[in-house]
Amino acid sequence: MGLTEGRGPKTVWNNPAEIIRVLAPEDPVMVFDPAVLRATAQRFLRGFPGLVTYAVKSNPDKAIIRTLAAAGVKGFDVASPYEIDLIGRLAPHAARHYHNPVRARAEIAHGVAAGVKSWSVDSWSELEKLFQRVPSENCEISPRFKLPVSGAAYDFGSKFGASPELAAELLRAVADRGYIPSLTFHPGTQCGDPQAWESYITTAARICDMAGVKARRLNVGGGFPSHRVQAIAPDLTTIFELIDSATEAAFGADRPELVCEPGRGMCADAFALITRVKAVRDGAAVFLNDGVYGGLTELPQIGNLDRLQVLTPEGTPRAGVPTPRTVFGPTCDSLDRLPGEIDLPANIQEGDYLIFQGAGAYSTVTNTRFNGFGQMAHLSVRSLS
Ligand SMILES: *Cc1c(COP(=O)(O)O)cnc(C)c1O
């Protein structure tokens, strides 16, 4: 609202500091640097030894989908009829992998009608539903399996994933019914430990042996980390190499084609969230105009983003001794607080701006209007800093 009106949606700003100086935004602003997204897409397309798809749920912004399709991303991981249709409109030639393993019958029918050819599954009941509605010709069904391995910011296995034994039985049934048999897993989001992929890939080979089935493809999921903490830059190259060598070691000549479906690792670092300091209450707690019901939803689950800058209303850095502060969001809910304490300049003031770098994943899409907050502008920049 407001910020893009009269300027046209195509306005591109130089950087967040310019936005702050010129617009003095009162509401949070999510800024997008398409060049960073293109560069990340190239890192995946050149480095990953297989097909790169994008997990739409992490950020379904149209500009992202279009930028990725133009950069050469040829597939998307979708989880709902809405996402299926979104990709159908924005990237009509791309493959859609319907990798939400539990679906209503009406959702399955929607996917079939839309021409979806790849499905995941983690149970007999859901596989039966697919058998009833999905034609076998040229359709791939991928049992999704899980392992009790950690390494990620939180465990995805608590909701989805069959045991390796069940996955082997499902894989056998998929092949027997004439579908293309493949396998998939998700090591957990923001997975900092590349060994997690190795354990899963080794198990995938064991599942194929148990089933007596050669998997056409192995989808190694998302989980690729973004740059959330200053001191820990993600090392995608190491992860790609490990995935490649683990596949070679586990499968040898029977190597399946690989697929990945990054969400966070693709989009997060192409965005920064500009928030404003509403108040420094009696010189202590900092209240922002955005919080855990807005663009910072994830932080209580997976920890703070510590790539922060504090700018004055003139757009210059606020230099001050880093001092731990309690940081609250704007709603009247006491859960609306960033975890722990955050180091901010001792002289931070009401009206200053706090910029969170790397805020593009699971942020705009989970923003709510709780308590009447959550109005968020979206602007493009030539540089995020
Ligand atoms: C959410 C999700 C992803 C993306 O996960 P990230 O951790 O954001 O990379 C990939 N695949 C599936 C099936 C998902 O549900």
Q: What would the pLDDT profile of 340-361 be if each residue is shown by its tens digit?
A: 999 999 999 999 999 999 999 9
Residues 253 and 325 in one domain: no
Active site residue 332: yes
CA distance 298 to 327: 15
pLDDT band (50, 70, 90) for residue 148: confident
Does 125 have pLDDT greater than 60? yes
Residues 243 and 328 in one domain: no
Does 219 have pLDDT greater than 60? yes
Residues 275 and 335 in one domain: yes
Residues 251 and 273 in one domain: no
Residues 258 and 332 in one domain: no
Domain assignment present for residue 96? The answer is yes
Does 7 have pLDDT greater than 60? no
CATH of the domain at 146: 3.20.20.10
* Domain endpoint, select from 232, 267, 302: 267
pLDDT band (50, 70, 90) for residue 1: very low
Q: What's the structural domain count of the chain?
A: 2
Mean pLDDT of 85-99: 98
Which of 261, 264, 267 maximizes ligand 1 atoms within 8 Å of its Cβ, making it the mutation to test the pocket?
261
Question: How far does the centroid of ligand 1 lie from the alpha carbon of residue 78, in Å?
Answer: 10
Question: How far does the centroid of ligand 1 lie from the alpha carbon of residue 44, in Å?
Answer: 15
Domain assignment present for residue 4? The answer is no
CB half-sphere exposure, 171, CA atoms < 13 A: 30
The edge-to-edge listing of strands for the beta sheet with 217-219 is 180-181, 140-143, 118-121, 95-98, 75-78, 51-55, 257-260, 217-219, 183-184
pLDDT band (50, 70, 90) for residue 2: very low
* Domain endpoint, select from 249, 267, 285: 267
Mean pLDDT of 278-283: 97
pLDDT band (50, 70, 90) for residue 11: confident
Strands 322-325 and 95-98: unpaired
Print the domain residue range for 173. Answer: 34-267
CATH of the domain at 324: 2.40.37.10
Residues 274 and 157 in one domain: no
Q: Which numbered atom of ligand 1 lies nearest the CA of 264?
A: 8
Does 255 have pLDDT greater than 70? yes
Residues 316 and 185 in one domain: no
Strands 95-98 and 118-121: parallel
Of 197, 266, 358, 297, nearest to 55 by C-alpha is 266
Residues 51 and 24 in one domain: no
Residues 263 and 273 in one domain: no
Domain assignment present for residue 261? The answer is yes
